[in-house]
Structure 1
Amino acid sequence: MSGISIITIENRRLYPVKAYDTEENNEITPIIDIDSIYDLLNRREKIFFISNQYDQYGRELDNFYGYIGSEDIKALFYVNDEELDRNLSAIMTLSEAAKKWGFSDGSTIRKAIERGKFERHEIKQAGDIWITTYDAMERVFGKIKNEENELIIYDDFESNLYRLFLKDVQRDYLREKVRERNLKENEILYNNIREVLISALVAIRKGNKVIIKNKRSNKTKQVINTERELFVFIELFSRRNLMTELRNNQLLEDFKKI
């Protein structure tokens, strides 16, 4: 099932977007397709939108209710639920993709689009803005430049996160002796996880990227360029049910001390 999504100038992601004409004969009329939204934006300064709202890393924000004008919109496009479920941050504008792949700007990617290097399903045009994904960028441009110098973390790291999550949840239901052993095992797991993430923080502070890859396919799932992006990546563990909220807060507090 597909719906309408918006990337704003501030890089907020709105999805699924519901647009309304609030000025025609004092009635509130829903607008159900992108062409009609563009047509109304050409006739009106702003139109009313209601939507779920996320930041550029996929972190959920307060729901959006309000007016948006064409000058507030970076991209307006159709997206299906499967794409959003995989990873909100996997959808990038060309300028964002250029930074991840080490290009000076999006012109190299635009030229590749003009030459037909991308498949139709790999790119979308939203007004004057093009959007793409990690899979598409890797197929067309290959590995990130100088990838051998970057820190690569494989997603099987998440299995340790999930093991810790399950053991933390079970802890209060265990017998005392078993609970003591469980606590020791949990701390070992936690320290292993923390060491991996500390190595990511050190790499970023040295000016390197952190690349999250699928263990089986070796495909890039995410690229983390800054400390802020790393902190958001960690903050989302509890929301993805990879870590309890209590443990996630502990990890974030530990990182603030580094």
Structure 2
Amino acid sequence: MNISIITTENKRLYTAAIYHAEDKELKNRIFEIDDIYDLLYKKQSILVIARQYDQYGKEIKFFHGELEKTDIKALYNVNDEVNNKDLTSIMTLSEAAKKWGLSDGSTIRKAIERGKFEQNEIKQAGDVWIITYSAMERVFGSIKNEENAYIIYDDFESVYLTKAYYEFAQLAYLRGSAYDAKAKDLEIKYQYIKDVFIKGLQALRNDQKVIIKKIRTNQIRQIICSEEEYYLYIEVFRCRKNLSSECIDRLLNDLKSFQR
């Protein structure tokens, strides 16, 4: 069995090698899922070595370190990684209920019991059920009051922001008037980017949601309900190279200092 971990930051560790936190020489790998849960509840932490992916499936820096029980959203066995790729962007049932405006996760549990979901759309991880965005949208449809949500399409990230990232990198090779012209152009683009994210922040502060959608299919890729989630969403750009670290730091500072 291979072990997959979803962290509270929506990063995925797969395949995860698990050890006792004190087993620094990695002599006794733990394979049984029940033993891992038992260790987490008794010792509150485990040592993990794994390839690491962001919530969109892009591989990021290799993970080697300790995880506390509170760092882990879900931990489960995976027989076939190919059939579970959609789980790179997942939620617990309580999170899904909140995002879809349901009273609690019991409505989703009933849908699971009635066989409304496909096998690769849901997973039970210990005592926690996890589910994909696409599954929720297929079974429950659009979220309530979606027309009032602030929509960001994924091509804004993959095209506009990524282009700005590489243009920013070009500054290191420019001098004189060429540098000044490029810096001026990038400042204009930064102000536009900031304006987009400020509008999203204002929506959240008005108790609206920010929805990230796929431009080609109009499907929901992510629903953001809080400022904390919003800032984490922006932080992911750092490892995905959608924006330079300098721009991300500046953007986060500008957003956090933005007054209502």
- TM normalised by structure 2 equals 0.78
Query: 2: CA distance between counterparts of 1:72 and 1:171?
Result: 38
The residue number in structure 2 matching 1:37 is 33
Pick closer, same or farther for the CA change 1:189–1:92 going to 2, 3 Å.
same
| Distance of 1:237 and 1:244 partners within structure 2 | 8
The aligned residue for residue 169 of structure 1 is 169
CA drift of 1:65 comes to 3.2
Deviations 1:145-189 (A, max 9, x none): 111111111112112111111111001213533222212221121
Query: Does the alignment pair 1:104 with 2:85?
Result: no
Q: How is 1:82-121 mapped onto 2 (pairs within 5 angstroms)?
A: 88=88, 90-121=89-120
Change (3 A) 1:171 1:19: closer
1:14 Cα deviation (Å)? Answer: 6.8
Q: How many residues align?
A: 246
Identity, % of aligned pairs?
44
Query: Does 2:74 match 1:78?
Result: no
Shift of 1:109: 0.6
Greater mean deviation of Cα atoms: 228-237 or 105-114? 228-237
The SS at the match of 1:204 is helix
> Which stretches in structure 2 are left out of the alignment for 5+ residues?
none
Greater displacement, 72-81 / 147-156: 72-81
Aligned twin of 1:160:
160
Which residue number corresponds to residue 149 of structure 1?
A: 148
In structure 2, how many angstroms separate the alpha carbons of the residues matched to 1:28 and 1:255?
Answer: 46
1:31, distance to aligned residue in structure 2 (A):
3.3
The answer (yes or no) to whether the contact 1:12–1:53 under 8 Å persists in 2 is no
State the shift of 1:13 in Å.
6.2
Instruction: State TM-score, norm by structure 1.
Output: 0.79
Larger radius of gyration: 1
Distance in 2, matches of 1:201 and 1:191, equals 15
Deviation readout 1:93-141 (Å, 9 max, x if unpaired): 1111111111111011111111111011111122332111111111111
Structure 1 gaps, min length 5:
none
CA contact (8 A) 1:4 1:78 kept: yes
Q: How far apart, CA to CA, are the structure 1 residues paired with 2:221 and 2:9?
A: 20
Give the equivalent residue in structure 1 for 2:135: 136
